[in-house]
Amino acid sequence: MTNLDCDWGAMSKKTIKCALLAAMLLNALETRAESLRVQVPAPYADNAPVMDRIREECAVEEMVGNYVFRHVAQKYPDALQVSDPAELDKGRVLKLTVLSVQGVGGGGWSGSKAILVRGDLMQDGKVVRSAVQRDHSRGGMWGGMRGTCGILEIVADSLGKQFTAWLGRMEGLQPTVVPAAATFHEPPAVAETQGAGGNPQSAP
């Protein structure tokens, strides 16, 4: 811990240095005190390609929002949920948008299921960083026994872990590590962009 045992009685370089250090620490504490809010549910983008049956029966919007929030709250215990669109422009918010859901009914027997989601880390209504994450079902011994909604729930859970890891990298809390779950085949490039003026770069 930093030693703040300063001599405030004399105007010296040490005093000035301590005053500046104290101001920096207070500013850091105020920034960290601002709770991260996560958008729940995560709405579909306009014209997002989703089968009507999945849209009606699987509640993918709630799945994605709830699982992202669950994993974020494990890392950031003071995280909060936000659902009112008017509140998205206040403070630090992870805005989520479901871009597409791949798959049809019939569970694991009808092929792979996938969800594509964009996350926008926002500060007072301005996008700071953005990332698009996609994950898909992987089958397994019991893959054919699961229903379509159950499979999509597993995918949403994995996406929650991916976005939490991404947030950690944004804040420098952990090294940049490509999670295995983020490896996929399509789309060929998953974009991660920086806010106004930032350079696009390839996401995991």
For the stretch 128-169, pLDDT in tens is 999 999 998 765 444 455 788 999 999 999 999 999 999 998
Are residues 143 and 183 in contact, defined by beta-carbon separation less than 8 angstroms?
A: no
Q: Which of 94, 95, 118, 115 is nearest to 191 (CA)?
A: 118
96, β-bridge pairs: 119
What is the pLDDT, as a whole number, of residue 21? 64
What is the pLDDT, as a whole number, of residue 19? 61
How far is the first Cα of the chain from the last one, in angstroms, to the nearest whole number?
A: 35
Rounded CA-CA distance 88/190 in Å is 24
What does pTM read for this prediction? 0.66
Q: Which pair of tokens denotes residue 61?
A: 């919007």
pLDDT digits (tens, 9 = 90+) for 65-116: 999 999 999 999 999 999 998 888 889 999 999 999 987 654 555 567 899 9
Task: Provide the phi-psi class of 96: left if phi over 0, else alpha when psi is between -120 and 50, else beta.
Answer: beta
H helix runs in the chain, sequence order: 13-33, 52-57, 60-75, 148-170
Q: Which pair of tokens denotes residue 41?
A: 């549910």
Q: Which pair of tokens denotes residue 107?
A: 């569970």
What size, in residues, is the chain? 204
Q: How confident is the model at residue 30 (pLDDT cuts 50, 70, 90)?
A: very low
Q: Which of 162, 149, 165 is nearest to 63 (CA)?
A: 149
Max Cα separation, the chain?
78
Q: For Cα atoms 200, 203, 204, give the angle at the middle one, nearest 5 degrees.
A: 165
Q: Which of 158, 151, 159, 143 is nearest to 98 (CA)?
A: 159
pLDDT over threshold 60, residue 199: no
Q: For Cα atoms 67, 71, 75, give the angle at the middle one, nearest 5 degrees.
A: 160
Are residues 159 and 115 in contact, defined by beta-carbon separation less than 8 angstroms?
A: yes
Of 187 and 25, the structure prediction assigns the larger pLDDT to: 25
Q: How confident is the model at residue 32 (pLDDT cuts 50, 70, 90)?
A: very low
